[in-house]
Protein backbone atom coordinates (compact mmCIF):
# COMPACT_ATOMS: atom_id res chain seq x y z
CA UNK A 1 0.00 0.00 0.00
CA UNK A 2 1.52 3.32 -1.04
CA UNK A 3 0.42 6.95 -1.14
CA UNK A 4 2.23 10.05 -2.43
CA UNK A 5 5.02 11.70 -0.48
CA UNK A 6 3.07 14.82 -1.20
CA UNK A 7 3.16 18.36 0.11
CA UNK A 8 0.38 20.59 -1.11
CA UNK A 9 1.74 24.15 -1.16
CA UNK A 10 5.17 23.01 0.07
CA UNK A 11 6.25 26.65 -0.18
CA UNK A 12 4.10 29.77 -0.43
CA UNK A 13 5.63 33.07 -1.48
CA UNK A 14 4.16 36.49 -0.72
CA UNK A 15 4.97 39.44 -2.97
CA UNK A 16 4.78 43.12 -2.05
CA UNK A 17 4.72 44.55 -5.56
CA UNK A 18 3.45 41.80 -7.89
CA UNK A 19 -0.08 40.65 -8.74
CA UNK A 20 -0.98 37.25 -10.21
CA UNK A 21 -4.76 37.29 -10.75
CA UNK A 22 -5.15 34.08 -8.77
CA UNK A 23 -8.88 34.07 -9.44
CA UNK A 24 -8.22 33.27 -13.12
CA UNK A 25 -7.11 29.94 -14.52
CA UNK A 26 -8.30 26.41 -15.19
CA UNK A 27 -7.85 22.99 -13.62
CA UNK A 28 -5.10 21.93 -16.02
CA UNK A 29 -3.16 25.20 -16.16
CA UNK A 30 0.31 25.12 -14.69
CA UNK A 31 3.95 24.15 -15.03
CA UNK A 32 5.85 21.08 -13.89
CA UNK A 33 9.59 20.54 -13.69
CA UNK A 34 11.04 17.06 -13.69
CA UNK A 35 14.63 17.91 -12.75
CA UNK A 36 14.32 16.24 -9.35
CA UNK A 37 12.24 13.21 -10.30
CA UNK A 38 13.46 9.62 -10.42
CA UNK A 39 17.16 9.46 -11.26
CA UNK A 40 17.26 12.82 -13.04
CA UNK A 41 19.62 14.23 -10.40
CA UNK A 42 22.60 13.26 -8.25
CA UNK A 43 21.56 11.50 -5.03
CA UNK A 44 25.01 11.66 -3.42
CA UNK A 45 24.71 12.45 0.31
CA UNK A 46 20.89 12.34 0.15
CA UNK A 47 18.96 10.08 2.54
CA UNK A 48 16.29 8.96 0.08
CA UNK A 49 15.86 7.23 -3.27
CA UNK A 50 13.76 8.30 -6.28
CA UNK A 51 12.36 11.86 -6.28
CA UNK A 52 9.35 13.86 -7.37
CA UNK A 53 7.95 16.58 -9.58
CA UNK A 54 7.54 20.25 -8.66
CA UNK A 55 4.35 22.03 -9.72
CA UNK A 56 3.12 25.58 -9.93
CA UNK A 57 -0.53 25.65 -10.98
CA UNK A 58 -2.96 28.47 -11.77
CA UNK A 59 -6.29 26.73 -11.27
CA UNK A 60 -8.58 29.63 -10.40
CA UNK A 61 -8.48 30.07 -6.64
CA UNK A 62 -11.65 30.84 -4.70
CA UNK A 63 -11.16 33.66 -2.18
CA UNK A 64 -12.34 31.83 0.96
CA UNK A 65 -11.04 28.33 0.24
CA UNK A 66 -7.60 29.74 -0.66
CA UNK A 67 -6.92 32.53 1.79
CA UNK A 68 -3.16 32.50 2.34
CA UNK A 69 -1.50 34.99 4.67
CA UNK A 70 2.13 35.11 5.86
CA UNK A 71 3.08 33.12 8.95
CA UNK A 72 2.76 35.13 12.12
CA UNK A 73 -0.44 36.84 10.97
CA UNK A 74 -3.26 36.62 13.48
CA UNK A 75 -6.00 34.21 12.42
CA UNK A 76 -8.83 36.67 13.08
CA UNK A 77 -9.54 40.39 13.47
CA UNK A 78 -8.34 43.50 11.66
CA UNK A 79 -4.79 42.24 11.03
CA UNK A 80 -6.05 39.06 9.41
CA UNK A 81 -8.56 40.95 7.28
CA UNK A 82 -5.93 43.43 6.10
CA UNK A 83 -3.44 40.68 5.18
CA UNK A 84 -6.13 38.64 3.42
CA UNK A 85 -7.03 41.56 1.17
CA UNK A 86 -3.42 42.56 0.58
CA UNK A 87 -2.17 39.12 -0.48
CA UNK A 88 -5.25 37.62 -2.14
CA UNK A 89 -3.70 38.31 -5.55
CA UNK A 90 -0.09 38.59 -4.42
CA UNK A 91 0.95 35.07 -3.47
CA UNK A 92 1.94 31.87 -5.26
CA UNK A 93 2.26 28.33 -3.95
CA UNK A 94 4.69 25.75 -5.32
CA UNK A 95 4.04 22.08 -4.58
CA UNK A 96 6.26 19.03 -4.51
CA UNK A 97 4.80 15.60 -5.23
CA UNK A 98 7.14 12.70 -4.58
CA UNK A 99 7.33 8.98 -5.12
CA UNK A 100 6.18 6.64 -2.37
CA UNK A 101 7.94 3.34 -1.80
CA UNK A 102 6.26 0.11 -0.70
CA UNK A 103 7.02 -1.41 2.72
CA UNK A 104 6.12 -4.79 4.13
CA UNK A 105 4.48 -3.10 7.14
CA UNK A 106 2.10 -1.13 4.88
CA UNK A 107 -0.83 -3.28 3.79
CA UNK A 108 -4.59 -3.77 3.47
CA UNK A 109 -6.42 -6.48 5.39
CA UNK A 110 -9.96 -7.22 6.57
CA UNK A 111 -11.01 -5.31 9.66
CA UNK A 112 -11.71 -7.66 12.59
CA UNK A 113 -14.37 -5.33 14.05
CA UNK A 114 -16.11 -3.14 11.49
CA UNK A 115 -18.45 -4.45 8.77
CA UNK A 116 -20.53 -3.01 5.94
CA UNK A 117 -24.33 -3.13 5.60
CA UNK A 118 -24.13 -6.73 4.40
CA UNK A 119 -22.05 -7.87 7.35
CA UNK A 120 -18.84 -8.24 5.37
CA UNK A 121 -15.61 -6.93 6.95
CA UNK A 122 -14.44 -3.50 5.84
CA UNK A 123 -11.01 -3.04 4.33
CA UNK A 124 -8.45 -1.79 6.86
CA UNK A 125 -5.36 0.19 5.83
CA UNK A 126 -2.17 0.02 7.87
CA UNK A 127 0.13 2.84 6.79
CA UNK A 128 2.46 5.49 8.15
CA UNK A 129 5.00 8.01 6.93
CA UNK A 130 8.53 6.61 6.74
CA UNK A 131 11.88 8.40 7.02
CA UNK A 132 12.30 8.03 3.24
CA UNK A 133 9.14 10.12 2.78
CA UNK A 134 10.25 12.75 5.29
CA UNK A 135 13.66 13.22 3.70
CA UNK A 136 12.21 13.44 0.19
CA UNK A 137 9.53 15.90 1.32
CA UNK A 138 12.13 18.13 2.99
CA UNK A 139 14.30 18.10 -0.14
CA UNK A 140 11.43 19.01 -2.49
CA UNK A 141 10.14 21.70 -0.12
CA UNK A 142 13.53 23.39 -0.07
CA UNK A 143 13.62 23.36 -3.88
CA UNK A 144 10.15 24.93 -3.95
CA UNK A 145 11.36 27.62 -1.56
CA UNK A 146 14.38 28.37 -3.76
CA UNK A 147 12.15 28.78 -6.81
CA UNK A 148 9.96 31.35 -5.07
CA UNK A 149 12.95 33.28 -3.77
CA UNK A 150 14.39 33.41 -7.30
CA UNK A 151 11.02 34.72 -8.48
CA UNK A 152 11.39 37.61 -6.07
CA UNK A 153 9.07 36.63 -3.24
CA UNK A 154 9.48 38.96 -0.26
CA UNK A 155 8.40 36.33 2.27
CA UNK A 156 8.27 32.54 1.88
CA UNK A 157 6.59 30.06 4.22
CA UNK A 158 7.89 26.53 3.73
CA UNK A 159 6.41 23.26 4.98
CA UNK A 160 9.32 20.84 5.35
CA UNK A 161 7.85 18.32 7.79
CA UNK A 162 5.66 15.32 7.01
CA UNK A 163 3.85 12.87 9.26
CA UNK A 164 3.01 10.91 11.24
CA UNK A 165 0.12 10.00 8.99
CA UNK A 166 -3.46 10.54 10.13
CA UNK A 167 -6.83 10.70 8.41
CA UNK A 168 -7.96 13.92 10.12
CA UNK A 169 -5.58 16.19 8.20
CA UNK A 170 -5.05 15.98 4.45
CA UNK A 171 -1.49 14.76 3.91
CA UNK A 172 -1.56 12.56 0.85
CA UNK A 173 -3.75 11.12 -1.84
CA UNK A 174 -3.90 8.63 -4.71
CA UNK A 175 -3.81 5.48 -2.62
CA UNK A 176 -2.31 2.73 -4.75
CA UNK A 177 -1.13 -0.84 -4.37
CA UNK A 178 -2.65 -3.70 -2.45
CA UNK A 179 -3.19 -6.04 -5.42
CA UNK A 180 0.23 -5.61 -6.98
CA UNK A 181 1.42 -6.69 -10.40
CA UNK A 182 4.42 -8.95 -10.79
CA UNK A 183 6.05 -11.86 -12.57
CA UNK A 184 5.87 -14.28 -9.64
CA UNK A 185 2.59 -15.44 -8.03
CA UNK A 186 4.48 -15.88 -4.75
CA UNK A 187 5.13 -12.13 -4.49
CA UNK A 188 2.29 -10.56 -6.49
CA UNK A 189 -1.46 -10.83 -6.97
CA UNK A 190 -1.88 -10.18 -10.71
CA UNK A 191 0.20 -10.75 -13.83
CA UNK A 192 1.08 -8.05 -16.36
CA UNK A 193 -2.40 -8.31 -17.91
CA UNK A 194 -3.88 -7.56 -14.45
CA UNK A 195 -5.24 -11.12 -14.42
CA UNK A 196 -5.37 -12.74 -10.99
CA UNK A 197 -2.87 -15.54 -10.57
CA UNK A 198 -5.39 -17.52 -8.51
CA UNK A 199 -8.53 -16.85 -10.56
CA UNK A 200 -8.14 -16.95 -14.33
CA UNK A 201 -11.39 -15.17 -15.17
CA UNK A 202 -10.81 -12.19 -12.83
CA UNK A 203 -8.98 -9.06 -14.03
CA UNK A 204 -8.35 -6.30 -11.46
CA UNK A 205 -8.06 -2.94 -13.23
CA UNK A 206 -6.74 0.15 -11.49
CA UNK A 207 -3.95 1.59 -9.38
CA UNK A 208 -4.21 -1.41 -7.03
CA UNK A 209 -1.63 -3.05 -9.30
CA UNK A 210 1.12 -0.48 -8.59
CA UNK A 211 4.10 -2.07 -6.79
CA UNK A 212 5.39 1.47 -6.09
CA UNK A 213 3.95 4.95 -6.61
CA UNK A 214 6.03 7.17 -8.91
CA UNK A 215 6.54 10.91 -8.57
CA UNK A 216 3.50 11.67 -10.71
CA UNK A 217 -0.24 11.37 -10.44
CA UNK A 218 -1.26 7.78 -11.28
CA UNK A 219 -3.97 8.69 -13.81
CA UNK A 220 -2.00 8.16 -17.02
CA UNK A 221 -0.58 4.85 -15.84
CA UNK A 222 -4.04 3.63 -14.81
CA UNK A 223 -5.26 4.41 -18.33
CA UNK A 224 -2.37 2.44 -19.82
CA UNK A 225 -3.11 -0.49 -17.51
CA UNK A 226 -6.75 -0.42 -18.62
CA UNK A 227 -5.62 -0.86 -22.23
CA UNK A 228 -3.34 -3.71 -21.15
CA UNK A 229 -6.15 -5.41 -19.23
CA UNK A 230 -8.50 -5.02 -22.21
CA UNK A 231 -5.89 -6.74 -24.39
CA UNK A 232 -5.66 -9.54 -21.85
CA UNK A 233 -9.43 -9.97 -21.60
CA UNK A 234 -9.62 -10.20 -25.41
CA UNK A 235 -6.97 -12.93 -25.40
CA UNK A 236 -8.69 -14.73 -22.53
CA UNK A 237 -11.98 -14.81 -24.45
CA UNK A 238 -10.18 -16.65 -27.25
CA UNK A 239 -7.96 -19.06 -25.33
CA UNK A 240 -9.03 -19.07 -21.68
CA UNK A 241 -6.65 -20.00 -18.91
CA UNK A 242 -3.69 -18.19 -17.44
CA UNK A 243 -2.15 -15.74 -19.94
CA UNK A 244 1.30 -15.69 -18.32
CA UNK A 245 3.27 -18.76 -17.34
CA UNK A 246 3.77 -19.11 -13.60
Query: Residues with catalytic annotation?
Result: 174
d(CA 38, CA 25): 29
12's enclosing H/E stretch is strand 5-14
142's enclosing H/E stretch is helix 131-150
Segments of 34-104 assigned E as strands? 52-59, 91-98
Contacts of 80 (CB under 8 A, 6+ apart): 69, 73, 74
138's enclosing H/E stretch is helix 131-150
Amino acid sequence: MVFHSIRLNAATGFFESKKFNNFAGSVGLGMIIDDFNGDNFDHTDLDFIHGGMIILGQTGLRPIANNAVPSGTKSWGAEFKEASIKYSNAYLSVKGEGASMAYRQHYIDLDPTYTDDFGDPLARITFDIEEQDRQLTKFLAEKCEQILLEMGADHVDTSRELGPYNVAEYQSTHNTGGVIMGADPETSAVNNYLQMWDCDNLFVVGAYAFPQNAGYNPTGTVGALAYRAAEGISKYMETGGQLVSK
